[in-house]
Amino acid sequence: MDSIKKIIESYNSLDNSFIKILVAIIVFFIFIFCLYILFSIVLLPFMKLFNKFTDNNISNVPDKRDYLLGTLSEKVGFEHVGEVLINSSNGTSIRPAKLYKKEDIENQIELPKNSPVIIIDFDDNGNALVIKNKNI
């Protein structure tokens, strides 16, 4: 409590009114910032819950029955993730892509950029698991 009294006394002992105003503005912004952080922490669980119940994003989620065809916009290799451009009935999207077949990974196969691919599935991280489309 004594430290707060000392801070107030040192503030009151300032002679220049410009410095007093500057200190008051700085204290005000620190107070607003602390309130912002406090409300963010307190309201975060409610915002997540609200978002979970109100998020009806179906515009870029592929249909489970679709056989998705895509074109690689970045090469896909055995040791790195590429990108696949998906043209579906709902629109166009770009997703990360990995090889689907274990044999392709073991044989260190790479699919070059602009290769037509078939998207077999999506893994837990949202990566499209692809194989080369030999029909095109």
Residue 10 located in a structural domain: yes
Share of the chain above pLDDT 70, in %: 85
Residue 62 located in a structural domain: no
Structure confidence at residue 115 as a pLDDT band (50, 70, 90): confident
Give 136 or 53, the one with higher predicted confidence.
Answer: 53
Quote the pLDDT of residue 54: 82
Residue 47 located in a structural domain: yes
Residue 63 located in a structural domain: no
Residue 105 located in a structural domain: yes
How many domains is the chain built from?
Answer: 2
Contacts of 95 (CB under 8 A, 6+ apart): 83, 84, 86, 122, 126, 127, 128
Q: Which domain holds residue 27?
A: 2-54
Indicate yes or no: pTM above 0.75: no
Whole-number average pLDDT of the chain = 82
Looking at the structure, tell me whether residues 46 and 8 fall in a common domain. Answer: yes
Q: Which of 73, 67, 88 is nearest to 133 (CA)?
A: 67
Residue 76 located in a structural domain: yes
Q: Which of 35, 8, 29, 4 is nearest to 20 (CA)?
A: 8
Residue 77 located in a structural domain: yes
Looking at the structure, tell me whether residues 46 and 75 fall in a common domain. Answer: no
Residue 98 located in a structural domain: yes
